[in-house]
Amino acid sequence: MAAINLSGPDAVTIRPLTLADRDSCVVVENACFTNPDHRATPEKFSYRLTVCPELCFGIFVHTADSEALVGSASPAQSPSAISSGIMVGHIIATRCKSNVVTDASMVLPKDWRAAVLDPASVPVSPLGHQPEGNTVAVHSLGIVPSVQGRSLGTKLMQAYIEHLAALSSSNDRQHKIDRVALICQDYLVDYYKKLGFINNGPSEAQFGGGGWFDMYRPI
């Protein structure tokens, strides 16, 4: 496969995600995480892109050769999807009240769809997205292997941090954000340090079998 030219001024775009991007998120997730236990489920993507889309960003490459970028599992691309680029990476997150990512923050709340339609009909869940939380818990950050090593992850995270800072400086107090947190395996600790994150040591989270490290970056 010929090298993909990403140097053009319009070759790469970064934007907030919506529920319409759900299937592309699933493709990126499957391409990035070889261990199925470390992947978010399609239903989790539906949940997070519904309740807190402002915390979810994607990076897109403008090329018609989608299969070369994300593999044969790529969903059919509509004309509008092609014109907006092919998603090659994403950051998916929720808010939480703790200073680090917890197992509870990663859980899909029961009856979440009913809670969206009629909040008064369903008790407030301590699981999943907590709108009053001051920590943004990143649950997935991935760049598809075909374009790794091209600084796209760095560009995506830089744009994301700037976005969170803008939310935090909003006059609306509920937008106050103190930090962004994530968990990673040991071989990625140095990578996230280069992105400005601080290693807070082994995590108590047992998602996907455990073995994680807590990382955080003040906003």
What pLDDT is recorded for position 2? 46
Domain 12-218 -> CATH class: alpha beta
Strands 213-218 and 198-202 turn out to be antiparallel
In sequence order, which ranges of 61-186 are alpha helices (DSSP H)? 66-70, 79-83, 103-106, 112-117, 152-168
What pLDDT is recorded for position 8? 65
Query: What strand order describes the sheet that includes 135-143?
Result: 12-16, 57-61, 86-96, 135-143, 179-184, 213-218, 198-202
What pLDDT is recorded for position 169? 84
What pLDDT is recorded for position 77? 43
Name the residue among 147, 19, 15 with its Cα closest to residue 71: 147
In tens digits, what is the pLDDT along the chain, a chain of 219 residues? 445 667 666 789 999 999 999 999 999 999 999 999 999 999 999 999 999 999 999 999 886 554 566 654 444 444 444 456 889 999 999 999 999 999 999 999 999 999 999 988 888 899 999 999 999 999 999 999 988 999 999 999 999 999 999 988 876 656 789 999 999 999 999 999 999 999 999 999 999 999 999 999 999
What pLDDT is recorded for position 180? 98
Question: Tokens 């301590």 label which residue?
Answer: 126
Strands (E), the chain: 12-16, 57-61, 86-96, 135-143, 179-184, 198-202, 213-218
How far is it, in rounded angstroms, from Cα 193 to Cα 83? 35
Name the residue among 180, 102, 115 with its Cα closest to residue 141: 180
What pLDDT is recorded for position 174? 64
Rounded to two decimals, the pTM is 0.88
Sign of CA pseudo-dihedral 156, 177, 104, 199: positive
- Helix (H, G, I), strand (E, B), or coil: what is residue 40? coil
What pLDDT is recorded for position 70? 61
What pLDDT is recorded for position 72? 42
What pLDDT is recorded for position 120? 86
How far is it, in rounded angstroms, from Cα 43 to Cα 197? 29
What pLDDT is recorded for position 73? 42
Tokens of 106: 């990663």
